[in-house]
Amino acid sequence: MRSDVSNTALILSLLEDTVDINTLEEACLAFARELFMVVLQTLDDELLKHRAEGLVCVGKRSRTILTKIGEIRITRRLYRKATNGKKARCRFLLDEALKIQPRRRVTHGLLRLMVSLSTRLSFRESAEVLEEAGFPRVSHATVHAEVRRYGELVKKRLENQRRLVFEFGQELSSPTGKKKVPFLILEVDGLLVGLQGGHGRKQEIKLGVAYEGWEIQGKQRKLQNATVMMGAFENGDDFWESFSACLSERYDFSVIQVIVNGDGARWIQEQAGVYFKGCIVQLDRFHLMRDLRLLFRNKAKELMSVLETGDIQVFMDTLESLEPEVPEKKRKLFNKLLRQCRKYPSHLVDYRSRLREEQRQGYFFSGLGVAETMVDKKLANRMKKRGMRWSREGAWCMALLLMLRANGQLHQWLEETSHEDIQNPVKEATIRKRIASRTLLQDPTWRHVCIPSLNGPTRPWKIALRALAGLAST
């Protein structure tokens, strides 16, 4: 501890050139940077005294790091292990002690701020805001590179989780156990974003939100325990595998009635039932009403009122009878809508009327359609509305970080994620040994409880998993 005299001298030295609170703040930051370098130098000296036997100091090297208190220039010792003519790897003991990464100029605290800010603003705007706020200047390319790196770590984690379930048949579980709720509502949608490399190139970002119902807060309704999944998945199978693997860690699907709501895309209407046995699938009312309004304007409400009665045949007959009124320029939209309604007639029925009486008792059920709002607020605001174009991998990474932000997990993820790549949590050999000893595989019905159904389009993982479980191929 400094003596009172030393403390007084320090304070007076800081006040020498102080004009106002702003100059005092700058003086304190400058002092903090000097103190930072002194502490690092002292630690490097101590590491020299207590270095391991055989380590020889071969010189000093300098580097610049960017911190939340400013730019710091540090000098530390380089060590090499004494060997008999063999080439040895050089080490910086200070870097190892403080986990300072090679070829990385920004400290983790500033990195977290950069990545979090970039989920709200463009990379260039993020760099400008950081500089205006008094942080060290970083280029927008640096911000972009860090977003890619953190996004790739999230992607690797999701892929590991998906493989554990769908390739190795491992049942996931959380430390608090799996929840048993009566209903789980899944709403899914997609957003096309522009890609770099030419006009008209698009990439679909798939989004899904799962929630247990609604909490009534005055006149408003809030989603209960919502979980969001986003990503630039190549196809519906990849999306449903990742989403269902994530949800299977939290929920016991053996006792849950799953309700799926989405537009007429095949990856929604057909593939949802493959991954959630016995689920109720509904054509999204927002998209249906939007198309009807574009086609028939005032008659759209009449058509929807017919649909709400539950008489699908009357609705279809009415829709087909209006075909002569459709102008030529809207014929393509009409044919698409008509094909969807003919292909999925049972999905036109409101999900509430398809629930059993005992399922409805004691619960509040609302209309569905939250996915469109999620796409607009959580995804499009950052990735589409500003005329931006993305690389495929860049779109992946940004979508995953936006997913963490939507789930309220971004800060925790950035705080806990180490600088090293995420490794597969279970070795392949260990997984196979564990699977071979599982008694669950002796019961063919386990696949409907622990993981999504193996029915539907044949994929390599399904063939392998069926063979492992002793099930016949379909």
DSSP notation for 17-80: T--SHHHHHHHHHHHHHHHHHHHHHHHHHHHHHTPPTTEEEEEEEEEEEEETTEEEEEEEEEEE
- Supply the DSSP symbol for 171: P
Please indicate, yes or no, whether residues 237 and 384 belong to a single structural domain of this protein: yes
Q: Final residue of a domain: which of 377, 412, 447?
A: 412
Look up residue 382 and give its two tokens: 């950052």
First-residue to last-residue Cα distance in the chain: 76
Per-residue pLDDT, averaged over 411-418, amounts to: 80
Is residue 171 one of the residues assigned to a domain?
Answer: no
Q: How many CA atoms lie within 13 A of 81 on its CB side?
A: 9
Confidence (pLDDT) at 424: 44
Query: Please, which pLDDT band fits residue 102 given cuts at 50, 70 and 90?
Result: confident
- Torsions phi, psi for 73 (to 5 deg): -105, 115
Confidence (pLDDT) at 172: 84
Q: Which of 207, 330, 186, 159 is nearest to 260 (CA)?
A: 186
- Work out the angle at residue 397's Cα, subtended by the Cα atoms of residues 393 and 403, and round it to the nearest 5 degrees: 145
Bridge partner list, 258: 184
261 pLDDT more than 60: yes
Please indicate, yes or no, whether residues 200 and 325 belong to a single structural domain of this protein: yes
Per-residue pLDDT, averaged over 60-77, amounts to: 91
CA–CA gap between residue 244 and residue 205 (Å, rounded): 17
Query: Please, which pLDDT band fits residue 7 given cuts at 50, 70 and 90?
Result: low
Q: Please write the tens of the pLDDT for every residue from 113-124.
A: 999 999 999 999
Per-residue pLDDT, averaged over 67-82, amounts to: 89
Domain that holds residue 14: 4-105
Q: Which residue's entry shows tokens 């400058």? A: 30
Please indicate, yes or no, whether residues 182 and 77 belong to a single structural domain of this protein: no
93 pLDDT more than 70: yes
Per-residue pLDDT, averaged over 363-386, amounts to: 90
210 pLDDT more than 60: yes
Q: Where are the alpha helices (DSSP H) in 167-229?
A: none
Mean pLDDT lowest among 32-46, 66-80, 218-232, 451-465: 451-465
Please indicate, yes or no, whether residues 184 and 81 belong to a single structural domain of this protein: no
CA–CA gap between residue 115 and residue 118 (Å, rounded): 5
434 pLDDT more than 80: no
Q: Final residue of a domain: which of 105, 128, 152?
A: 105
Per-residue pLDDT, averaged over 183-199, amounts to: 91
Confidence (pLDDT) at 85: 59
Is residue 115 one of the residues assigned to a domain?
Answer: no
Bridge partner list, 261: 187, 282
Is residue 267 one of the residues assigned to a domain?
Answer: yes
Query: Please, which pLDDT band fits residue 428 given cuts at 50, 70 and 90?
Result: very low
Please indicate, yes or no, whether residues 95 and 237 belong to a single structural domain of this protein: no
C-alpha 224, offset from chain centre: 19
% of the chain residues with pLDDT over 90: 50
Per-residue pLDDT, averaged over 50-65, amounts to: 90
Is residue 281 one of the residues assigned to a domain?
Answer: yes
Is residue 461 one of the residues assigned to a domain?
Answer: no
Confidence (pLDDT) at 129: 94
**Could you give the number of structural domains in the chain?**
2
Task: Annotate 426-437 with b (16+ C-beta within 10 A) or e (fewer).
Answer: eeeeebeeebee
CA–CA gap between residue 310 and residue 466 (Å, rounded): 40
Is residue 240 one of the residues assigned to a domain?
Answer: yes
Per-residue pLDDT, averaged over 233-242, amounts to: 93
CB 284 within 8 A of CB 369: yes
242 pLDDT more than 90: yes
Is residue 139 one of the residues assigned to a domain?
Answer: no
CA–CA gap between residue 308 and residue 348 (Å, rounded): 9
Mean pLDDT lowest among 80-84, 121-125, 156-160: 80-84
Query: Please, which pLDDT band fits residue 316 given cuts at 50, 70 and 90?
Result: very high
Please indicate, yes or no, whether residues 87 and 183 belong to a single structural domain of this protein: no
- Work out the angle at residue 365's Cα, subtended by the Cα atoms of residues 359 and 370, and round it to the nearest 5 degrees: 130
Q: Final residue of a domain: which of 81, 105, 129?
A: 105
Mean pLDDT, all residues of the chain: 84
Q: Where are the alpha helices (DSSP H) in 167-284?
A: 236-248, 266-269, 272-275
* Amino acid at residue number 319: L
